[in-house]
Structure 1
């Protein structure tokens, strides 16, 4: 095999190996799977994971049945949440997804492999990437999560990355 051909084969193999984690992540079957597979410490845009026509995304913590954010989107979502009489508990957090002016709730089970970290100061020694801002709600095109480990538990922080 010629040296040029060996180099081409090596480049192809390297490209395949580099693409593998992204292909696995892109093939996640649900938002929960995608969150579990998200890389640590890097912002992951979640709008594309949710599909087309998503307008906004919000996160409700365990036991939280209303958004504390006070803007037009949150007020409309809170009205819909009240109308649905949302049942909340300690074992789940919820992604509230607005798609075509309709509210969709994606309830995610908390575990040591996946939990949510609210909009509050991070533990000492933990930092978020530049330009990532914690938020309770975000327009779909800026909605993102960052995943980190704290006390042997994987957390996602919800927020936004400006475009």
Structure 2
């Protein structure tokens, strides 16, 4: 019995270490890393994936909290692919008509993420007027913005209403 628990523990650790990062190719990592600070970048400019929607998975977030059809589809995919969130990573879920991909990133001082509920008034002042932070955004208007806040670089997902 202990041996089975040990094997299950090793499988969990392996999926945390290798699982979601294997699919990070959904985003052009160079374009993602070189986004300008303070300027919204359309998601379609840094990914060839034809996304109907893009959603953020924060550290420790294994599922989308909504119960709508899109979230149910995503959550079924996350469960089937054994996605395990941890403190050291965040991910974007790219939802297409047929396919779903996970683009996971390691957190660091040079790259971290802010969810919609973490956007304070001081962060809000740094955002362009045509950008609204959201944890899920429609594919056509999905945008990312990179800001520096408290000596750390953050990426925010949202929707941009202006031309980018």
Structure 1: give runs of 5+ residues left out of the alignment: 1-28
What's the counterpart of residue 100 of structure 2?
Answer: 103
What's the counterpart of residue 85 of structure 1?
Answer: 82
1:37-75 deviation line (CA, Å, top 9, x unaligned): 111111111123211532221110011001124432222
Secondary structure (helix, strand or coil) at the match of 1:129 reads coil
What's the counterpart of residue 137 of structure 1?
Answer: 136
Moved runs in structure 1, 4+ residues, more than 4 A? none
Residues 32 and 46 in structure 2, CA contact (< 8 A), matched pair in contact too? no
Aligned counterparts of 1:146 and 1:54: Cα–Cα separation in 2? 18
| Displacement after TM superposition at 1:99 (Å) | 3.2
1:65-89 deviation line (CA, Å, top 9, x unaligned): 0112443222211121122221111
Greater CA drift, 108-117 or 64-73: 64-73
What's the counterpart of residue 74 of structure 1?
Answer: 71
Residues 36 and 113 in structure 1, CA contact (< 8 A), matched pair in contact too? no
Q: After the TM superposition, which residues 3-152 of structure 1 pair with which residues of structure 2 at under 5 Å, given as runs?
A: 30-126=27-123, 127=125, 128-152=127-151
| Displacement after TM superposition at 1:30 (Å) | 4.8
Structure 2: give runs of 5+ residues left out of the alignment: 1-25
Aligned counterparts of 1:134 and 1:107: Cα–Cα separation in 2? 19
Compute the TM-score of the two structures, normalised by the length of structure 1: 0.74
Aligned counterparts of 1:135 and 1:112: Cα–Cα separation in 2? 22
Compute the TM-score of the two structures, normalised by the length of structure 2: 0.73
Query: CA-atom RMSD, angstroms?
Result: 2.0
Q: How many residues are aligned here?
A: 135
